[in-house]
Amino acid sequence: MYQSIHSSHRYAGARRLRGYGMLVLAVCLLALGASGAWAQGTGYWHTSGNKILDANGTEVRIAGINWYGFETTDFVIHGLPTQDYHTVLNTIKALGYNVIRMPFSNQLVESNPVPTDYGASNSNGFINTDLVGETSLQIMDKIIQNAGNIGLRVILDNHRSEAGNSNEANGLWYTSAYPQANWIADWQTMVTRYSSFKDPQGDPVVIGVDLRNEPHLLIGSISSGACWTGDTATNGAYTGCPTSNTAQNWPVAAAAAGNAVLAINPKLLVFVEGIDCYDGSCDWQGGNLAGVATNPVTLNVANQVVYSPHDYGPNLYRQPWFTTTTTDASLDAIWAKYWGYINTAGTAPVWVGEFGTDNTTSDIESTVAGSQGQWFQGLTSYIAANPTLNWTYWALDGEDDYGLLDSGYDPTPLSATKQSLLAVMQFPLTGGGGLACPVPALVPQNFAGTPVSSSQVNLSWTAVAQPVAGCTVTYNIFRSTTGGFTASSTNQIATGVTGTTYADTGLTGSTQYYYVSKSVDVTGTTQASSQIGVETLAGSSSGFTLAPSSPSLSITQGKTATDTITVTDAGGFTGSVTLAATGLPSGVTGVWGTNPTTGSSVLTLTATTTATTGAFTITVTGTSGSTTAHTTFVLNVSTSAAGFTLAPSAAALSVTQGKTATDTVTVTDVNGFTGSVTLTATGLPSGVTVAYGTNPTTATSVLTFTASATATVGTSTVTITGTSGTTTATTTIALTVASSTPSTCTVDYVISPQNSSAFGAAITIVNGSTAVTSWTLTWTFANGQTISSLWNGIETQSGTAVTVKNEPYNGSIAAGGTLTGIGFNGTWNGTTNAIPTAISLNGTVCTVN
C-alpha cells in the first residue's frame, strides 16, 4: 500500500514569486536578546530516560524545522534563487524554531558538485554572492556556520543514496551504487567535517545525526526492504527479520553506523527512525517503532540514542485509522502504539522528525472525523501535551505543498494559524549572537560628483539594497589628489555615512578622486567591508565615466570570459578614451576589442589552467589626455583541473552466445590534457572477454567483446575505466548477452492509471521454454517517458533506454512460467505515451501485449 507514498516530500514546483513581508519587531527582539542570563542548550546534548539534556544537565527540547534541498538533484538547499540565506536563517530564528533538520544524499557527499541554483539577484538586490563557485558542501558549511552564529542547532539527515526528490524507493539505507560501506564512510566524512563547527559561545552547531530517512519493509506488496530485529511475521515473501546480518535488519545496520559516528564524536545524538511494518501491523514509512520494546538499538556510547518516527495525515495517504469515526482518542492510541509508548515508559527520547500539512484552514484545524485538519490539530495537541516529545516540522521550503513560507521565502508564514499551533510547542535556546548578516556583495557602482563651488563637491551613489532587516549598512568616503589610489586611514575623510550622498567641503585643488566602501554592522560590530565605488573628478567642466556590464564576473581555469566597459561622456567631453585593466591575478590576461574607444569596448579575459584562483577586484582606467576615470569589477577565478572524458559510440550493445560485437570508446581531452589513457573493463558477465584495438590510446580504441557459447545470458553494466597517471575517468556500456537458442517469451505491459503528466504501468513476464534463475528486461521508450519509481525490480534508465533486473527474491521463472507484480510510476509528455514495441528478456525479443 506504500507505492503511492514513497516520498514524504511535497514538491509542488517553485512559482518564483516575490513578495516582501517583514517580522521587524521579532527580528529586533532577537537582536536585543542575543545574550541570555543562562545558557540553555550549552554544549553537546545527551539523553536521560525520555529527556534530552544539555552539557549542564538542563533539559532541552528539539522544536525545529526541516529545510531541504541538498538531497535533491539541485545539490543545494532550496530558496537561494529568491532569498538571501541569511534572511532565511533569521526568519527561522525569529519564528521560534531552534533546530534545522538538513537532508543530504550520499551522492552529494561523494561527488560534491558546484551547484548553480544559488541566486544572483532579486527585487531586493544582489543575494548570495558569496556562494558563487562554491561546492555543495562549501555552501552547506556557510549555512551551518551562520545558523550556529545566531544560536540555531543542526541535525544532519541522510535522506537517500542517489540524489532525488523522495525517500529511497527500495526501503533500505543503501543501493548498488552506494552500498552500506559507502553509507557508513560518508557519515564518517560528514561527522569529521562538522564536529569543529562552533557558535560564538563555543557550543557545537551540529548536535546530532539522523542515520537514514524512512527505512521501510514493503515495496509494493513485497517485503524486500528494511525490517526490525525480532519481527517473525509472515507477510508476502517475508518470513522474519534476520537477527544479525545487515542486509535487511535496520537496527543492526543503525548500530553499525551509529558506532562509527560515535567513534569520531562520542557526544553526538544518534537519531534512529522506525520502519513501516512490524509483527504484521503497518504505520507510515519510518513511523513504526514497535520493535523497540523488545529489541532497542544499543550503541557503544550510552545515552545518545533518540528514536524518530514520521507521521502524516490522510491527504498524503488514507491510512485505515482515518475514518468517519476517528476521534482524538483513537489517534492518540495509534501514536501511543507505534512510538508514543517509548516516551511514556521513559525508555528513550522521541523526536517526530517529520509531520506537516497544507496551508488551507480546513487542513490545519477541523472537527470533521478522519480529516487532515483533525489529524494535524490532534498531533500538535498530543506533542504539546507531552513536553518531553521533540519535533521538526516538514517543511520550511516554499516549493512544498506543506511549506511554512511562500515561494519567495519571505519572513511571514503562509498560515498564521499553523504557525500559532507550532509556536505553542516551541522551546527557546540561548546563545548565538544577534542576526545573521550577509557579507556585502562585491558589486562596484559608479558614483557622481557635482561641483558646487571651487571648495565643495556633492557626491552621490547608488546603493545595493540590503536584504536583511536589522543589518545596518554604512558607507566610508576616501579622497586623494592621485587617481587609482588605495583606500586607507590616511585618505579617509568620512565614516559611518548612512545615506547615499555626501558633501565634501574645504577643497583647495581643481582635481580630486574619491572612493567609497560599505560596511555591514550588527549592533555596532562590523562584520565585513567591501568596495562599491570608483573615483570621480571634482571641479572639472568635462570628462567621462566608465561602467562595466558585469560588476561580478566568473571565469574557470582554462576558459575565457568577457566584460563590456562603457564610456559615458560628461560636460561636453568628445574625445576618445584609452582603456587599461590592472589587478589581474597571475595567469589571467586581458585583450581589448576596441581601444581607444568613444563608446564601449569588450574586454576578453583568458585564464590559463594554472591561473591563481579566488576573488579579485579589477580596476579599469580610462585615459584621454590629462583626463582619467576609473571603474572596477570583481573577477572570480575557479579551479578546473586538466583531464579527459570517455564516451562509447554505443551506450547499449548486444552480443550473442558464441559471437563477437564491437564498440568504440573515444577519449576527449579536457583543459589541455595531452597524456595517453589506458583502458580497462570491469563488470563483464561470466563467459565474456574484451580485447582492445589500441591501448593505451590518445584518441579512440575499438573494444571487441567475445561471448562464449555458455556465456551468462542477460544484461550487465560494463564499466570502462581510463587511467593516465593519477587521473581517471569512467563510462558504462549496457552489454546484453543473447541466447544462441532463444525461447519464445511474452511481456504484458498495461498502462493504468494515467493523468496529464504521470502514469503507472504493470508488467507481467510469461517465460519461454527455458527456465531462468535471473532475468533482465530491456526496452526503449519512444516518447521520452521517465520512470520515477519501480517495484519488484531494480531499474536503471539512461536517456530513453531502460533496464530492469530481478530482485533477490524473484529471479527464478520456470519454463512456461509467469511472473507478475512488476510495476512502476512514471512521467510522460501529456501527448503520446506509446507502449514499447520491443521488450527483451535476457537478450531475447519478446512479444509485447
Exposure b/e, 405-442, CB count within 10 A at least 16 = b: bbbbbbbebbbeebbebbeebebebbbbbbbbbbebbb
Do 340 and 352 contact (CB within 8 A), yes or no? Answer: no
3-state secondary structure of 173: coil
DSSP 376: H
**Cell triple for 47:** 539523553
- Is 71 designated active site? no
Angle at 299 between CA 295 and CA 303, to 5 degrees: 100
* Residue of 214, 273, 399, 535 with catalytic role: 214
* Residue of 71, 273, 354, 399 with catalytic role: 354
Do 10 and 355 contact (CB within 8 A), yes or no? Answer: no
Residue type, position 451, single letter: P
3-state secondary structure of 162: coil
Angle at 188 between CA 187 and CA 193, to 5 degrees: 100
Residues facing residue 654 across a β-bridge: 736
Do 548 and 633 contact (CB within 8 A), yes or no? Answer: yes
Q: Is the peptide bond before 696 cis (omega within 30 degrees of 0)?
A: yes
**Upper half-sphere CA count for residue 698 (Cβ side, 13 Å):** 5
Residue 262 φ then ψ, to 5°? -70, -20
Q: Which of 427, 320, 324, 421 is nearest to 378 (CA)?
A: 421
- Is 162 designated active site? no
Q: Which residue has the cell 543492526?
A: 252
Residues facing residue 88 across a β-bridge: none
Distant-in-sequence, close-in-space partners of 98: CB < 8 Å, separation ≥ 6? 41, 62, 63, 64, 151, 152, 153, 426, 427, 428, 429
Q: Which of 764, 763, 770 is nearest to 657 (CA)?
A: 770
DSSP 259: H
Radius of gyration of the chain (CA): 31
Report how far residue 177's alpha carbon sits from residue 161's, in angstroms, rounded to the nearest whole number: 8
Q: Which of 427, 431, 423 is nearest to 61 (CA)?
A: 427
Q: Which of 799, 801, 811, 808 is nearest to 842 (CA)?
A: 811
Residue 213 φ then ψ, to 5°? -80, 125
Do 110 and 491 contact (CB within 8 A), yes or no? Answer: no
Q: Label residue 819 left, alpha or beta by phi (over 0 means left) and psi (-120 to 50 means alpha).
A: beta
Report how far residue 662's alpha carbon sits from residue 706's, in angstroms, rounded to the nearest whole number: 9
Q: Is the peptide bond before 753 cis (omega within 30 degrees of 0)?
A: yes
DSSP 469: T
Q: Which of 661, 736, 666, 740 is nearest to 705 (CA)?
A: 661
**Upper half-sphere CA count for residue 338 (Cβ side, 13 Å):** 27
Angle at 350 between CA 349 and CA 355, to 5 degrees: 160
**Cell triple for 105:** 544524499
Indicate the helix (H) or strand (E) that contains 401. Answer: none
Do 357 and 403 contact (CB within 8 A), yes or no? Answer: no
Edge to edge, what strands does the sheet with 501-505 contain?
447-453, 456-461, 501-505
Indicate the helix (H) or strand (E) that contains 214. Answer: none
Report how far residue 578's alpha carbon sits from residue 598's, in angstroms, rounded to the nearest whole number: 9
Residue type, position 150, single letter: I
Angle at 362 between CA 359 and CA 366, to 5 degrees: 130
Q: Residues with catalytic annotation?
A: 214, 354
